[in-house]
Amino acid sequence: MDQISSFSKTVAARRLVLSALALLTCLVMSVPARAERVDDLMDALQVEAMLGIMRTEGMAYGEELAGDMLPGGSSAPWRDLLAQIYDSDSMRAVVRTGISQTIEDTDPKPLIAFFSSDLGQRIVQLELAAREAMIDDAVEEAAREAYREMKDDEDPRLDQLRRFVEVNDLLEANVTGALNASFQFYSGLVDGGGLQLSEGDILSDVWSQEDETREDTREWLFAYLLLAYEPLENEELDAYIALSETSQGRALNRALFAGFNAMYDEISYALGLAAAQQMQQQEL
């Protein structure tokens, strides 16, 4: 079960885009939101570009998963399944629904204005660039090493990032999301006939990985934030933290987590189900 259990750790890293986008959500007002404004908000945050990066990441991970779990490794049918699972339109629809439902009593216009500004677009681009760069294992390891070297120092930037993580509850939210996605993956495997476990067994195995998932997530998160926000001035990051402390910022933060959590849960279950089906077919 070691190969399957490693899914939780992988999900912890893959899900961290939520922390990234969550950092970008800091200013909304409490009036009814209109559907078209949700689309404008997603456009301002360049969610489409982020989903494209996540799709590339997911397709590559699907190939790794096949090598670990499928008797014959990857195949044309498996790649077709991956393309269906990581369908861009479906991914966007799930994310949009989650965001829209969660901020239905909020007006995103001030946020749209902020992220349409020069500073807002710069922040979004930094976010996307760091996310894409860390697809490369060498870049990820270098970023992690940079964090390891400074985590015990009294570094002002690291102190800022600690505040940012605490204000937005980024660590615990991502750990919970990673474990939930892992549960969905196991459930897909079981429902597809690739694994025989009770729900209690699945929960036991998933939660046994909690400590390891939390530590790996912590390291990835700070490595990522250090890389993404290195070009920002301290004053810019301080202003960002102040905005994220508002009740409105917290509400939109929850909305983005809701949208991306739903998407990752669906993908994780579908991956487990597809892997189970392929395991059975290749064994025939």
- What is the per-residue pLDDT across 147-166, written as a single tens digit (0 to 9) for each? 999 998 888 999 999 999 99
Q: Judge whether residue 27 has pLDDT over 70.
A: no
Which has the higher per-residue pLDDT, 146 or 32?
A: 146
In the block, residue with structure tokens 């989650």: 98
Query: Mean pLDDT across the chain, nearest whole number?
Result: 85
H helices present in the chain, as ranges: 2-14, 17-23, 35-44, 47-69, 76-85, 88-102, 109-116, 118-133, 137-150, 156-168, 170-191, 199-208, 210-229, 234-244, 247-283
Q: How does 146-176 read in b/e, with b if 16+ C-beta sit within 10 Å?
A: ebeeeeeeeeeebebbebbbebbbbbebbbb
Instruction: Sketch the domain layout of the chain as residue ranges.
Output: 2-283
Rounded to two decimals, the pTM is 0.85
The strand pairing partners of 107, in sequence order, are: 29
- What is the per-residue pLDDT across 169-181, written as a single tens digit (0 to 9) for each? 899 999 999 999 9
Phi, psi (deg, nearest 5) at residue 29: -125, 155
Q: Judge whether residue 17 has pLDDT over 60.
A: no
| Amino acid, res. 130 | A
- What is the per-residue pLDDT across 104-131, written as a single tens digit (0 to 9) for each? 787 777 778 878 888 889 988 999 999 9
- Alpha carbon of residue 25 to chain centroid: 15
